Chain A
Amino acid sequence: MAVAKKEKFEAKKKSPEKGKQQKAKVVPVTPPPNVKQRTVVTPWRDTLEFNTTYKWLFGKSNTPATWRQALSKIRIWCLRRGSLCPAAVLATSVLVQAHLEDQEGSAKIQDTYASAFTRFYNFMSSIIQGHNMSSMYETAKELGLQSFIVDLRHLCAHGQELPPVEVLRNTSNHCLEWLRTYYWLPHMETMSNLDAGKLHRKDKLKFEKAVTDLLEIYDLTLECHIKGAEKLKAISKLKSSGEFNKIRVYSSSKKAKTSKEILSAVLGDLSALVKKESSSMKDLLDIYTKCLLKMKYFLGVGLEIDDNEDVIIAATQGLFRLLAVQGYIEKVFLALVQLSENQNESEQRRLGASYWAKKMLETFGMLFRMKRMYKAELDLNDKLKPADFATLNTDKISKTMRSLLVHSNADLSVTLIFGDNPKKSRSLIFDRDFIMQRVDAFSNYSAPILKGLLPLADPPYTKTQIEDLTKLCDAQLEEFYEEEAMEEDSSSEESNNLDRLERFLEQAAQSKEHTSDWGVWKLDKHTDWPKCALGVLPWAQ
């Protein structure tokens, strides 16, 4: 007993000295600011959880109880990330576990320490060890461990006799301190919680900013153009000084004198920018679409039409032609549809998205009818010149194409004119499943879109079906407005509408039941879930 007390006393004496020495060493080893960084997924939720665990492990007032708390936390971390839990964390836990058993007076403490020691070294050496078989001494050197740790590890793993308990106890104390300075302290000092904005890659942020800046100028200039301001003087009267300066700087750099020229220049820059980044960025289209939908005036212009829709169409046709040439028409249309159906968005944005989606559908219908007529002509006349629908994206239109345009029953003055992608011509038609999704999300914002989609279904609906469905949508829309005035629940409305459509379409087997029984589970109707990252509650922000 006396010997044990002396040993503990010596251990306590040694630890503060080691701590001081280690602290002195840590200061000059601060990593330079240019060190490479990477985004990692960790088992701990935030810095609070990590720091609390550190305190439980190495705090001045730590006790067996706090050690048990720390071990429990590490077990949770293993559950969260499985085999991806950091090696240093697991190495710490095996040593702390041995210490706990030591304090509890285990009879097999020597075996416990030996096992912990072997696992500690195996865990830590694995992060250095590669496919090159290097010596354990070299590995220890690279880790910054004393070479005698390797000797002890070998004795614990293979020795006929285990080292004395005192040696194991002192060395594991040393290793715990090493783990603290090698892993826990540097991480605690450099780690900080992340917001969603910081999570994106720099090149993506840069691209997004470039697109946003260009589209901002486009949006501002579009407003001026539609309101009749052509030259800089007129523009300066409509816009604030900050906004005007943006336009002025851009127009001077591009030598554009009128709002029309500025719009063209922006589209040219957009085309070049997207072309430059399209091969290397995987989710470029998502960023691009997101920036497009951030244009405030562009989205809202559909709500302020007063006999000037032809001006709006003429002004924005260039943008849609650019999207067609880039091959992004379908994706942008889908984004507009989803925006109009998104209950979390503002009413103005939903109405604006609905307007532009409807306008695009008009063009889709026009193209569909043009291609149908063209096919009919081909059946009658094999010698007809081949028509390239991609030429609709330019101002040079062939006679055949012009003739098809005239006979397409579209009011050309208020219809966006764009064609196929030059390289990837693809008919803009939609699966019935896609249309059924729109039925599920039926609302007054998305109803015009649904009606516009019916003629473009694949496989196509019959004429009678289209007429009936259109009437059904109109009826439901009227009832929707009436019931909305009566302040009734809209979900029952959607359900009722769904039932009728399903009955008519004879697709009961594919119906999705919103009100079916899910046992102990129920659908959470909080609308802020998309704003929360995984692990975050909407009402806990």
Chain B
Amino acid sequence: MLDEHILKEMKLSFQLTEQRELASGRRKPEKPQHPPAVPKKKVISKVASNPAKISETMIQKAQMESPKKSKKNKTAGAKRPLSNNVSNPDSSPSQKRLKKDNTLPKKNPVNKSSNVAAKKSAATSKSAKLPIPKVHSINELAPKKTKVKTPNKTKEASLSKKHKVNGNKSSMKVVQNGKVVEIIGTAAETSDIEMNSLDDWSEEDDYLIESDSENDVVEEIDETFLKDPKIFKVKCKGPEYKLSDILPPFEHDEYQPLLLDGDGSGTVRKIKVFKSAQEETDSDEDDIDYEPEDSDDFGSEEFDSEESDSEDTSSADYDSDGDFYSEYSDMEDVSDSDSEEFGSDIFDTDDLDSTYEPPDIEGFFDHPPVGMQREPLIIEEIFDDPPVEKKQERIEQSSVMDIVVKNLSSVPPKKESEVAIETEENDEVSLPEVVTPEKENYLQPSDVPFYRNPQANPTELSVFENSLKSNHVLAVIKEDLEVYGTLVLTLLCGQISVNGYRARRQEAITIYSPKGLNWVSISPTKTKKPVKDEVNWEELNKNFTRAQLDRIKTSFQRQTNAIVLLHRNTSAQQLVDTFGKHMAQNVFPLVNSSNRPFGQSETLLHCLIQSSDQSRTLQVPQVWNKLQMHATSRIIVAGGKGVGKSSLLRYLINRNLGQFPSMLLIDLDIGQPEIFVPQTISCTVIDEPLLGPGFLYNRQPEHAIVVGHTNIVLCAEQYARAVIQLVQNIQNDAKYSNIPWLINTMGYNKGFGIELMALLVDRIRPTDLVQIASPIPINNFDSVLDRNSLSQIKPIIYSAEEFKINEIPKYTLHKLISAVPAREKGTWSLSAKDMRYSNLLARLSSCLTGNAKSLTDCQPLGVSLESLKILHPTSKNYSREELIRGMEANVVYLCHHGAGLPQCLGIGVVRAIDYERKELYLVPAMPLQKMSLVDCLILGGEQSLPQGFLRDQGQGVSSSVPFVFILDDSKSSKSIQQIYHRAPAFLGVPANQRN
């Protein structure tokens, strides 16, 4: 009875599948693919085992039906494969596998003789049956292999070596069995299995090929239904074959359970058919389509990546939902900048892809052991004390742990406590290495605003006095303070250090401390020598009362405190307003609260100030202070993404400005430049400290060249030529020869990153190279950037004569460990996309001169189009007319086209174009004095006018508004989103910390 019922259901499901195939029209074009003769032969060779499997499968279905009826949920069905997989590590199943493999050769001779007879009676119908179980068996094998891999991470290195030796798909089988054998510890069995596994894999390859043609299988199934009576005939013959193949009693008993296990998995697959025929069809299609794709992309890494993707997907489900919800909330709250916020989040992953190419399998497997070998070397070179080594390792572990936390939007309470413990350990460990004393950090309650610091000790508060007449603030700084906003500080007495810069007396320094980065800290430093009282108290008395000054004097301790005068940064008003208008996040603060310790002072300064617990400010490892700088130093700072290159760069500048009044910053980062605009490289003479992001100072470079894109792959040659010319310009100018150079590089460390680095080193000829290593392997170069390694690089991309490397010079290599602290959960930080956007906002705010509040209020400069050269930096497919129309209401680079590549002087916004008069009207975002040099406009890359500037026109606008529409919120009008999924293993997360 049960058998008949199952058969009926099978018929119905296959009929439904057939109907859908006919409806889709795929059956017709694939018919010609059926005739190939080779698959038939191999299919026929499997006839002998078919009857047994069919009968066993039928029995299994009957057994499985009862639990299905009792538990009508998918969970029960899903658990069964897991239970089978769990049993794999046991010794008995592995032994059974061995014997199964051993019996294969014996069957073949007997089967051959019986095949001849079978062909005559029912060749076609028998061949139709065979592919079904094999297809399932292939799917069954995959999860087993992946599961076995997981607990044996330490053996991956040795196993990967075997993989290299074999060099084909069958090696995975070897690896799979090798693990099993190693568990048993028998060498002889290994060789036997290898011999057999080669045969097995070649057979399975054939089935993989066959499974690609789905209709072929369907067609054969169809024939089976038409010749239903013959199934029983085959069934009758089954026992006869078994009798002729009787094995020893022990082996025979073990053989049956193996079949049961294999068929059991298959049964689970087939049961799914009866739950929903449509679902089954979709599922099959997905599986069949997915595997070839993986094999094409990853080769023999197929199963590993499949598992990883699955895990990543399961965790990503929750994450992406949360992200989407938060994005949606943001869109509702600040709809003026919807697209920018949304685009910012989406294209953040694009930044990862633009700098990190998927590594070769060889490199991927080699990296962990090489990294492990390097770590002791690095520690030995930098630190001599063993305790420091241990602490350093802890830092790395905690960093990795935090990375895991990043991937989870929701963490169970236990894990949160673990994270807290790790964070505390991190703080303790870093104590001896941080220059400024560090306090213990506690996780803050979620209801406290992100910038508040409720743990401040009242007895150590600094003293702030607010002027009655002016908007100045006089302060005695007794502790480390951190700043959120922008202000101008003048040191009057004592000593302070601001992000490494020792302020001079009576020197006004400007601080920019935006949200999303480390706060800028103001730290009083001890002075050994008694300092004379040089404060001009009479001058201060004009703005402050005598009582206020007396309070300042009494609280000031000469050797430990500092007296500073603070002003609001009024020159940055346009910049702050621009950020407030076009940035979703409050990058600069809205000073509303009056319940803070320095509330009145904060109101005057329009900047938040609080005592610092060192958790959100720049943490300087001791090794940074050991980097020496000379007048002829040429220091390259290199490293992957997010290792702290910019922080180190600013610190070196700030710390050495006392010794060298000016130094040259050569910025070769096209994605997140420090001073100038994205998609360019530049050099700038720095004679003032960078207390915050450099681009907020809106400084003008000495030389700059437009490269054309933020993705190095799309402008590799343009970038190299630009660098070569820029370096030549610098080297030919005598005024740069006797000042130190600091070279900022991009974080492109995979792909041809090391090849590019070799080219840079050859042309720049540095004296020092600082390589910062990240705890995440993907964010590191594949090798140490020493002279020997770079000399052996054989160029692939830069193979032209103009990029030939003459000789890698001698330089001192400094290998540092990344000092970037773990980011707090839920804390917003400036992504690469946000950084570029902020850079553009800062530049465009310089357009607003006089009383202008928006671009439309600015008076434009006119020019005849015929007097301009108009270029696209990376493409020659655009006509001049297209470029002209493309720059309408857009951002363009303003350049001078002299000898060599065009020199970029700044950017501007094309206000409008008069096509009849052939005139262009521009609002420049650079000093007007240099406009006389501009004779060339460059348009291209990712740079375009932020949408907020088009949506929020000036108050006085009364005309029609082009380029802006109110449309239905549908997906059809969305732009291309490049979202990349990366498995945790790819990002360097240890196996035991994956989800």
Chain A interfacial positions (CB closer than 8 Å to B) = 31, 35-46, 72, 75-88, 90, 123, 126-133, 135-137, 146-148, 150-151, 154, 158, 167, 182-183, 186-187, 190-196, 198-199, 201, 282-283, 286, 290, 338, 341-342, 344, 368, 371-372, 374-375, 378-379, 382, 423-427, 429, 431, 433-434, 437, 440-441, 458, 512-513, 516-525, 529-537, 540-541
Q: State whether A87 and B594 are in contact (beta carbons under 8 Å apart), knowing that A38-B335, A535-B889 are contacts in the complex.
A: no
* Apart from A79-B883, A427-B470, A530-B954, 9 more pairs, CB < 8 Å: A41-B963, A45-B888, A80-B886, A86-B973, A158-B293, A424-B591, A458-B470, A520-B867, A532-B856
Could you tell me the distance between the alpha carbons of A536 and B850 in the complex, rounded to whole angstroms? Answer: 22
Q: How long is the Cα–Cα vector from A80 to B922 in the complex, in angstroms?
A: 16
Q: For A40, give its contact among B296, B967, B971 (CB under 8 Å).
A: B967
Are B471's CB and A426's CB within 8 A? Answer: yes
B975 touches which of A87, A283, A513, A541 (Cβ 8 Å) = A87
Residue on B nearest A50 in the bound complex, by CB: B965
Q: Residue B951 contacts which of A135, A199, A424 (CB distance < 8 angstroms)?
A: A199
- In the complex the two chains form, is B316's CB within 8 Å of A535's CB? no
CB distance from A261 to the nearest CB of B (A): 33
Chain A residues within 8 Å of B971, by CB: 127-128
Distance, CA A79 to CA B938, complexed state (A): 11
Taking CB atoms, residues of chain B closer than 8 Å to A541 are 959
22 A-B pairs (CB sep. < 8 Å): A75-B886, A76-B885, A79-B886, A80-B890, A80-B944, A83-B942, A84-B343, A127-B971, A131-B320, A131-B981, A132-B316, A137-B282, A146-B24, A199-B953, A429-B469, A518-B861, A519-B934, A524-B921, A530-B956, A533-B959, A535-B963, A536-B959
Taking a contact as CB atoms under 8 Å apart, the answer to whether A521 and B471 are in contact is no
B242: chain A residues within 8 A (beta carbon): none
Q: A282-B580, A431-B570, A534-B911 are in contact. Are A524 and B26 (CB under 8 A)?
A: no
A536 with B960: CB separation less than 8 A? yes
- 1/0 per residue B906-944: CB within 8 Å of A? 000101101000000110000011011111000111111
| A283 to B582 Cα, complex, angstroms | 11
For the complex, what is the distance from the CA of A427 to the CA of B543, rounded to whole Å?
11
B191 at the A/B interface (Cβ < 8 Å)?
no
Chain B residue at smallest Cβ distance from A525: B859
Give the top 10 A-B pairs by smallest Cβ distance, nearest first.
A79-B886, A131-B320, A519-B932, A535-B889, A41-B947, A530-B956, A127-B974, A424-B603, A338-B851, A82-B944
Report the minimum CB–CB distance from A352 to chain B (whole Å). Answer: 17
A536 to B26, CA, bound (A): 54
**In the assembly, what is the distance between CA of A41 and CA of B929, in Å?**
33
Select one of B600, B966, B976 contacting A198, CB under 8 A: B966
Asked if residues B967 and A423 are in contact (CB atoms below 8 Å), the reply is no
A182 to B973, CA, bound (A): 10
Contact A530 B965 (CB under 8 A): no
> Are A379 and B546 in contact, CB atoms less than 8 angstroms apart?
yes
Q: Which of A35, A147, A371, A437 contacts B969 (CB 8 A)?
A: A35
Within the complex, the shortest CB–CB distance from B472 to chain A, in Å, comes to 9
By beta carbon, the residue of chain B nearest A287 is: B955
Report whether B965 and A529 are in contact in the complex, using a CB–CB cutoff of 8 Å: no
Q: Which residues of A contact B323 (CB under 8 A)?
A: 131
Report A35 CB to chain B, min CB distance, Å. Answer: 5
B978 at the interface (CB under 8 A from A): yes
Chain B residues near A132: list those with CB within 8 A: 313, 316-317, 320
Query: A196 to B546, alpha carbons, bound, how many Å?
Result: 55
Within 8 A of A (CB), among B25-59: 25-26, 29
A76 pairs with B886, CB closer than 8 A: yes
In the assembled complex, how far is the CB of residue A79 from the closest CB belonging to chain B, in whole angstroms?
A: 3
A519 contacts across to B, CB distance below 8 A: 931-935
Distance in angstroms from A423 CB to nearest chain B CB is: 5
Q: In whole Å, how far is A405's beta carbon from the nearest beta carbon of chain B? A: 16
Give the interface centre of B312, B317, B859 by most chain A CB atoms within 10 Å: B859
Give B528-576 interface residues, CB cut-off 8 Å to A: 541, 545-547, 570-571
The listed residue (A81, A126, A437) touching B978 by CB distance below 8 A is A126
Q: Which residues of B contact A282 (CB under 8 A)?
A: 334, 336, 580-581
| Alpha-carbon gap, A75 to B877, bound state (A) | 9
Q: Which residue of B lies closest to A127 (CB)?
A: B974
A286 vs chain B, min Cβ distance (A): 6
B964 & A42 in contact (Cβ 8 Å cutoff): yes
- Whether A126 contacts B603 by the Cβ 8 Å rule is no
Candidate in B282, B879, B959 with the most chain A CB atoms within 10 angstroms: B959
- Specify the main secondary structure of chain A where it touches its partner: mixed
Of A45, A85, A517, A521, most buried by chain B (CB within 10 Å of CB) is A521
CB contact between A372 and one of B469, B591, B851, B976 (< 8 Å): that residue = B469
**Is B330 an interface residue when CB atoms closer than 8 A count as contact?**
no
B117 on the A face (CB < 8 A): no
A81, closest chain B residue (CB): B944
Contact B469 A191 (CB under 8 A): no
CA distance A195 to B961 in the complex (A): 5
Q: A39-B964, A151-B26, A536-B912 are in contact. Are A83 and B976 (CB under 8 A)?
A: yes
Contacts of A183 in B (CB 8 A): 972-973
A164 to B950, CA, bound (A): 46
Q: Which residues of A contact B877 (CB under 8 A)?
A: 75
Q: Are B471 and A433 in contact (CB under 8 A)?
A: no
A194 touches B960 (CB 8 A): yes
Q: Are A426 and B604 in contact (CB under 8 A)?
A: yes
Contacts of A41 in B (CB 8 A): 339, 947, 950-951, 963-964
Counting CB contacts under 8 A, is B289 at the interface?
Answer: yes
Given A80-B888, A427-B469, A441-B850, A38 contacting B324 (CB threshold 8 A):
no
Question: CB distance A520 to B863 under 8 Å?
Answer: yes
Q: Is A518 touching B928 in the complex (CB atoms < 8 A)?
A: yes
Q: Known A38-B338, A433-B570, A518-B928; judge A87-B966 contact (CB<8 A).
A: no
| A48 to B89 CA separation, bound complex (whole angstroms) | 69
Closest to A378 in B: B545
With a cutoff of 8 Å between Cβ atoms, the chain A residues found around residue B962 in the complex are 45-46, 193, 533-536
> Which residue of the partner chain A has the closest CB to B858?
A529
Q: Using Cβ atoms and an 8 Å threshold, which residues of chain A touch B491?
A: none
Distance between A281 CB and nearest chain B CB, rounded to angstroms? 11
Q: Is the CB of B581 within 8 A of A529?
A: no
Minimum distance in angstroms from B130 CB to a CB of chain A = 24
Give the distance in Å from the alpha carbon of A154 to the alpha carbon of B953 in the complex.
46
Contact call A520/B868, Cβ cutoff below 8 A: yes
Residue of B nearest to A191 (CB): B965
Q: Assess A378 versus B546: contact at CB under 8 Å? Given A148-B24, A521-B861.
A: yes
Measured CA separation A314–B953 after assembly (Å): 38
CB contact under 8 A between A39 and B968, given known A521-B934, A533-B961: no
The residues of B that contact A518 with a CB separation of less than 8 Å are 861, 928, 931-932
Kindly provide the distance from the CB of A430 to the nearest chain B CB, expressed in whole angstroms. 9
Roughly how many angstroms separate A84 CA and B945 CA in the complex, as a whole number? 11
Would A83 and B932 count as touching, CB distance under 8 A? no
Alpha-carbon gap, A201 to B335, bound state (A)? 9
Q: Which of B12-28 contact A (CB under 8 A)?
A: 24-26
Q: By the criterion CB–CB under 8 Å, are B912 and A133 in contact? A: no
Contact with B974, one of A39, A86, A286, A529 (Cβ below 8 angstroms): A86
Task: Please indicate the chain B residues that have their CB under 8 angstroms from the CB of A87 in the complex.
Answer: 974-976
CB neighbours of B967 from chain A (8 A)? 37-38, 40, 187, 190-191
The yes or no answer to B240 lying at the interface (CB within 8 A) is no
Q: A186-B972, A195-B960 in contact; A521/B932 too (CB < 8 A)?
A: yes
Complex Cα spacing A131 to B888, Å: 34
Q: B604 to chain A: which residues have CB within 8 Å?
A: 426
Task: Identify which of B292, B600, B943 contacts A158 (C-beta below 8 A).
Answer: B292
Distance in angstroms between the alpha carbons of A123 and B974 in the assembled complex: 10
Given contacts A79-B887, A82-B944, A378-B545, contact A524 B862 (CB under 8 A): yes
Distance in angstroms between the alpha carbons of A130 and B977 in the assembled complex = 9
Neighbouring B residues of A425 by C-beta, 8 Å: 600, 603
Q: Which of B438-490 contact A (CB under 8 A)?
A: 467-471
A contact residues around B912 at 8 Å (CB): 532, 534-537
CB neighbours of A167 from chain B (8 A): 29
